């Protein structure tokens, strides 16, 4: 007999570390924008696994690539070449408009890779004295969970209890160009930043910020490093968020939807000149660049391009925000977003966001609350207009 949701939740709670606080729903099947629980209830997935499922759950083309590759070879390690890595990286460098990529698996690994590249570039190309390299980051950043990355996080939940921390990072306010200029010294090797601070609650910077930040970096011979792990892969209405302002980075980090919601695929991508600072044995990953991941990554990029999911995110994102603005409610403090990366901030007087996400769940919409007052809405980009409108109807019900 099939077990019910209660059973699986209890089992997770008993045997799994409590490092998440999930909405109490169990997902046992998924297709496109829809997911089902073991009882057969259907929900619209408005988180899309933190934007790792931009192409929709189990996209047929991506699943076919997975199956076909699984029948050939799945893992070679980088001790040998494989016939999928080159074609994948050629495509990835083309879509990022850069020249060379270093493949990893998770987003945090891509960020770690970028940090190492920037430091080594600082010593070898910029002439920074040994062990003096500094990287500038922003307050309220989210770049992953490793010990080095949490060393420069500012959210206490992420950080407290995990020291001692890795030195070499300087935190400045987000969306503040003067702060960036003032923070740069001769030892600054990079500025690591998110084009939109998604985890912080979809914080969208002022128009022109990305462009100006890139210009300041170039003027001071500092690497402009964009973490597009969540904002990339068409989420904001462009293949990458930097394309809204033509703020091309020196190093970009890509992950999440690069794996089409199927397997973890990430990379740090840069120019030939910058990437040349990394030599054999200096960095790597057993699974990074494996043929299965490359096949999936290639199909994931193909789907984004062929289905023009950038245009779709742009158009439906606008429709979504227009719909939200029409809702008559006194509970909303702010509506923020670009493309299909959006958030509603609930007024403190109207209670926690969590209460609203639990009500949305009852209506068949899965969205994630964050930082007490914010609800993020980031459905798969393959969502249809009528599905989006249905979701707006549910949001209206809980906000009325």
Ligand X SMILES: *Cc1c(COP(=O)(O)O)cnc(C)c1O
Q: Residues 144, 249, 291, 297: which binds ligand X (CB under 6 A)?
A: 144
Q: Which stretch binds ligand X (CB under 6 A): 103-111, 119-127, 313-321, 356-364?
A: 103-111
- Show Cβ contacts of residue 323 under 8 Å, excluding neighbours closer than 6 positions: 388, 389, 392
Q: Tell me if 255 contacts ligand X by CB under 6 A.
A: yes
Q: Which stretch binds ligand X (CB under 6 A): 63-71, 89-97, 105-113, 325-333?
A: 105-113
Nearest residue by C-beta to ligand X? Answer: 107
Maximum separation of any 2 CA atoms in the chain, in Å: 66
Q: Residues 26, 111, 210, 277: which binds ligand X (CB under 6 A)?
A: 111
Q: Tell me if 238 contacts ligand X by CB under 6 A.
A: no
Choice between 114 and 301, CB closer to ligand X: 114
Q: Tell me if 143 contacts ligand X by CB under 6 A.
A: yes
**CA neighbours closer than 13 Å in the CB half-sphere of residue 145:** 4
Residue 142: active-site member: yes
Q: Residues 84, 92, 202, 229: which binds ligand X (CB under 6 A)?
A: 229
Instruction: Tell me the C-alpha to C-alpha distance, in Å, between residue 194 and each of 23, 142, 234, 314, 346.
Output: 26, 8, 15, 19, 23
Q: Tell me if 227 contacts ligand X by CB under 6 A.
A: yes
CB atoms within 10 A of CB 286: 11
Q: How far apart are CA 333 and CA 208, in angstroms?
A: 25
Choice between 259 and 394, CB closer to ligand X: 259
Q: Could you tell me the two tokens for 206?
A: 């002022």
Report in angstroms how near the CB of residue 154 gets to ligand X at its nearest. Answer: 14
Q: ω before 336 within 30° of 0 (cis)?
A: no
- Show Cβ contacts of residue 42 under 8 Å, excluding neighbours closer than 6 positions: 34, 35, 36, 364
Per-state percent for the chain, helix, strand, coil, to nearest 5: 40, 20, 45
Report in angstroms how near the CB of residue 243 gets to ligand X at its nearest. Answer: 17
- Among 142, 169, 224, 377, the active-site one is 142
Q: Which residues bind ligand X (CB under 6 A)?
A: 50, 106-108, 111, 142-144, 194, 198-199, 227, 229-230, 255-256
């Amino acid at each position: 007999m099939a077990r019910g949701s209660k059973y699986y939740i209890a089992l997770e709670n008993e045997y799994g570390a409590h490092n998440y606080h999930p909405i109490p729903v169990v997902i046992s099947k998924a297709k496109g924008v829809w997911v089902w629980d073991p009882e057969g209830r259907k929900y619209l997935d408005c988180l899309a696994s933190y934007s790792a499922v931009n192409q929709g759950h189990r996209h047929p083309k991506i699943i076919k690539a997975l199956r076909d590759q699984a029948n050939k070879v799945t893992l070679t390690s980088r001790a040998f070449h494989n016939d999928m890595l080159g074609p994948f990286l050629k495509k990835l460098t083309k879509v990022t408009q850069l020249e060379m990529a270093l493949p990893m698996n998770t987003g945090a690994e891509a960020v770690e890779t970028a940090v190492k590249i920037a430091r080594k570039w600082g010593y070898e190309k910029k002439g920074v004295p040994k062990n003096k390299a500094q990287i500038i980051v922003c307050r309220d950043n989210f770049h992953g969970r490793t010990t080095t990355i949490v060393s420069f996080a500012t959210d206490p939940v992420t950080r407290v209890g995990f020291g001692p921390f890795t030195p070499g990072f300087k935190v400045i306010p987000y969306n503040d160009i003067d702060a960036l200029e003032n923070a740069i010294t001769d030892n600054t090797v990079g500025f690591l930043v998110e084009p939109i601070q998604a985890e912080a609650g979809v914080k969208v910077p002022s128009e022109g910020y990305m462009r100006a930040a890139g210009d300041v970096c170039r003027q001071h011979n500092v690497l402009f490093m964009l973490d597009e792990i969540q904002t990339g892969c068409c989420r904001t209405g462009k293949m990458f968020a930097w394309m809204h302002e033509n703020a091309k980075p020196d190093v970009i980090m890509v992950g999440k939807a690069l794996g089409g919601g199927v397997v973890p695929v990430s990379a740090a991508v840069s120019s030939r000149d910058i990437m040349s600072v990394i030599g054999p044995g200096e960095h790597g990953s057993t699974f990074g660049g494996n043929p299965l991941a490359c096949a999936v990554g290639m199909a994931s990029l193909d789907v984004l391009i062929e289905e023009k999911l950038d245009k779709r995110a742009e158009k439906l994102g606008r429709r979504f925000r227009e719909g939200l603005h029409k809702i008559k409610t006194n509970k909303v403090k702010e509506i923020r977003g670009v493309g299909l990366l959006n958030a509603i901030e609930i007024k403190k007087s109207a209670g926690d966001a969590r209460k609203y996400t639990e009500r949305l769940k009852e209506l068949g919409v899965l969205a994630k609350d964050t930082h007490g007052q914010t609800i993020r809405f980031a459905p798969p980009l393959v969502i249809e207009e009528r599905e989006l409108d249905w979701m707006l109807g549910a949001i209206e019900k809980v906000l009325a």
